[in-house]
């Protein structure tokens, strides 16, 4: 009756380097249904349930990065025992040594897998520019004179996320913010929890650990919000982001000099929407899936393109990373405790390293550096003209709420968005030369008269761009009403919405499932 090709089934369950498993793929939806049935049947058997989720999480990571799941296990085991030792000896010299050991382990793995070629090429370029020639007997098999031979190093998916998450745990234990866990299984569950394993959000131990042994409970509100977030995330990723990427943005950024400045500008707007829908879509699905399993994650995006300053943008964009950088890097460097000049230096260093975290490229470093510069300018502007951005900075507890100035809000919003969008060019362009071409076309070959022709040629792209920005900029009150309407609707209505969305995805799909952008980080 059922003609099942078991070889094909086994092949689908194995790691496939050309199609890593993501939330929007059919194989994940199939496996998650089976996973959910077993998960809910375990009920009050906490340890068995935690073990089951941990094993599934490791399988999920295997489907994303193959046999490199051993890295996840190595980081987990080492940081667990390092934190246990730190908890025993406290803030002593030995405690600092153990924190340093955790830093060396986590950041060492990250540097090796992500930055070996970049650092090697950069060092060789510097040596060449300085006229220094290294004998081959000293340089070994990888450095020939001052030429770096590229090494084919696989970048495990999500290594930047789970190393940062594990590192924050050991630092928090050292600072006395949390106590070390007594069960290795619980820590493995925390580090590997599959909804946020490969692309965040970076969940703090103090937020997640208290939920691990909590009795399994998924309230109607949690279930409804979880379904809404999964629907919203799938729509953002598979309908808006993937379509405008494949059908427009990729074409422009591949050869920007073949298109007018107007088309390049629209591609910049398109990529700004694409990366937001892609990454916030993943975060929505991760938070939604966690809610269906009884776990609550903090919000990771808060309508960032509504921001009226760069400072506000970084309070709304990738909140888990920006708060991580603030708490573990910016504050560790001294924060704003040593005067204005030192504060600006710390901001620049934090954003430069934040840019480098995103990728081993000068483009990413420049992207981070520009954001650091804009943050410094924003701080200076506010200190000189505090009334010029009344909607951006929160007043002190005893101060009256500032009067809204809608003209300043509008100008601040437009300037902030275009600064962010311009920086996204560096983020998206495969090389600095391509980024230069994009800007050259925009400033010197704009050709605004072809706009109507573009709208006719790219009807679906234009409609999705308009829809995406309208939904993103809609008033918060209307957004909350929509969430409540969907989350409180009957189960049958939710099921029909999911089916309709899947049907829509199938109809507009023009290529294979696109990996999430932040998988490369």
Cis ω for the linkage preceding 392 (within 30 of 0): no
Query: How big is the CA angle at 183 (ends 180 and 188), to the nearest 5 degrees?
Result: 90
Q: Which residues contact 344 (CB under 8 A, 6 or more apart)?
A: 376, 379
Look at residues 520, 469, 355 and name the one whose alpha carbon lies nearest to residue 423: 355
In angstroms, what CA-CA distances link 17 with 46, 181, 313, 375?
Answer: 34, 35, 35, 39
The Cα angle at residue 383 between residues 381 and 384, in degrees rounded to 5: 65
Six-digit token pair at 390? 């009344």
Distance (Å, whole) CA 499 – CA 112: 43
Catalytic one of 318, 358, 371, 472: 358
Q: Is 487 helix (H, G, I), strand (E, B) or coil?
A: helix
Task: Take residue 203 and report the two structure tokens written for it.
Answer: 């969940």
Question: What's the Cα-to-Cα distance from 1 to each of 30, 325, 367, 469, rounded to whole Å?
Answer: 21, 57, 58, 49
| β 143-144/147-148 pair status | antiparallel
R_g of the chain, CA atoms, integer Å: 24
Active site residue 418: no
**Catalytic residue list:** 358
């Amino acid at each position: 009756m059922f003609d099942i090709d078991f070889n094909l089934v086994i092949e689908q369950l194995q790691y496939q380097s050309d199609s890593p498993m993501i939330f929007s793929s059919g194989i994940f939806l199939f496996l998650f249904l089976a996973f959910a049935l077993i998960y809910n049947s375990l009920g009050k058997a906490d340890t068995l349930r935690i073990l089951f989720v941990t094993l599934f999480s490791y399988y999920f990571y295997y489907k994303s990065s193959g046999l490199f799941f051993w890295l996840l296990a190595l980081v987990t085991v080492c940081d667990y025992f390092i934190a246990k030792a730190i908890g025993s000896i406290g803030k002593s010299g030995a405690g600092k040594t153990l924190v340093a050991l955790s830093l060396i382990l986590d950041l060492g793995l990250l540097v090796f897998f992500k930055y070996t070629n970049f650092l090697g090429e950069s060092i060789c370029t510097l040596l060449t520019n300085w006229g220094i020639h290294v004998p081959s007997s000293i340089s070994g098999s990888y450095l020939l004179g001052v030429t770096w031979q590229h090494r084919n190093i696989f970048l495990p998916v999500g290594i930047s996320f789970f190393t940062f998450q594990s590192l924050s745990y050991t630092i928090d234990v050292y600072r006395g913010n949390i106590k070390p866990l007594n069960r290795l299984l619980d820590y493995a569950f925390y580090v590997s929890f599959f909804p946020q394993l490969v692309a965040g959000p970076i969940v703090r131990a103090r937020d997640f650990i208290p939920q691990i042994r909590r009795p399994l409970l998924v309230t109607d509100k949690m279930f409804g919000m979880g379904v809404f977030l999964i629907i919203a995330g799938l729509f953002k990723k598979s309908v808006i982001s993937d379509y405008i990427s494949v059908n427009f943005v990729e074409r422009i950024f591949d050869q920007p000099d073949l298109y007018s400045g107007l088309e390049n500008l629209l591609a910049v707007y398109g990529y700004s929407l694409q990366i937001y829908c892609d990454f916030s879509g993943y975060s929505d699905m991760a938070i939604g899936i966690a809610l269906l399993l009884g776990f609550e994650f903090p919000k990771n995006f808060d309508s960032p393109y509504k921001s009226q300053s760069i400072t506000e943008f970084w309070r709304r964009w990738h909140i888990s990373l920006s708060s991580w950088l603030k708490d573990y890097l910016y504050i560790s460097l001294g924060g704003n405790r040593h005067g204005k000049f030192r504060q600006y230096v710390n901001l620049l260093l934090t954003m430069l390293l934040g840019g480098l975290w995103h990728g081993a490229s000068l483009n990413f470093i420049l992207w981070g550096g520009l954001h650091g510069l804009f943050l410094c300018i924003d701080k200076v502007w506010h200190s000189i003209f505090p009334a010029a951005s009344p909607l951006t900075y929160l007043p002190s507890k005893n101060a009256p709420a500032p009067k809204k100035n809608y003209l300043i809000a509008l100008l601040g919003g437009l300037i902030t968005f275009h600064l962010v969008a311009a920086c996204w060019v560096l983020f998206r362009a495969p090389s600095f030369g391509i980024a230069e071409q994009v800007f050259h076309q925009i400033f010197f070959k704009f050709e605004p008269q072809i706009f109507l022709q573009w709208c006719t040629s790219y009807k679906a792209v234009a409609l999705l761009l308009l829809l995406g920005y309208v939904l993103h900029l809609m008033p918060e009150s209307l957004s909350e009403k929509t969430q409540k309407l969907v989350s409180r609707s009957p189960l049958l209505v939710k099921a029909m919405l999911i089916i309709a969305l899947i049907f829509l995805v199938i109809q507009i799909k023009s290529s294979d499932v696109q990996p999430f952008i932040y998988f490369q980080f």
